[in-house]
Amino acid sequence: MARLYVIESADFLFLMRQTGLTFGNLSSHLSKLEAAGYIEVKKEFVGKKPHTMLRLTEKGRAAFRKYQQNMKQVFEDLLH
């Protein structure tokens, strides 16, 4: 989600390279995020090759912002 948060959209192979996840692991994570309504998956063909584009939904962006706030609070609490 962090990778998608800073860009408008990305294709599957870009995310696979960026995260270092295997095809199967990334697919599994993305399926769960899609089921939660956090990402939108658009499958198309470029020529005869499948091409999958992904983007965060507004619900996903809000959830990630909340996660960031929670993590920031955890670290601030550790310092006090």
DSSP string spanning 6-33?
A: TSS-EEHHHHHHHH---HHHHHHHHHHH
Q: Which two tokens stand for residue 63?
A: 């959830």
Q: Radius of gyration of the chain from Cα atoms?
A: 15
For residue 80, what pLDDT is reported? 81
Question: In a 10 Å sphere around its CB, with 0-12 CB exposed, 13-18 middle and 19+ buried, how is residue 47 labelled?
Answer: exposed
* Average confidence (pLDDT) per 10 residues, the chain, 80 residues: 93 95 96 97 93 97 96 92
CATH value at residue 71:
1.10.10.10
Model's pTM, two decimal places?
0.85
Give pLDDT tens digits for 1-10.
Answer: 999 999 999 9
| Domain count of the fold of the chain | 1
Domain that holds residue 56: 2-79
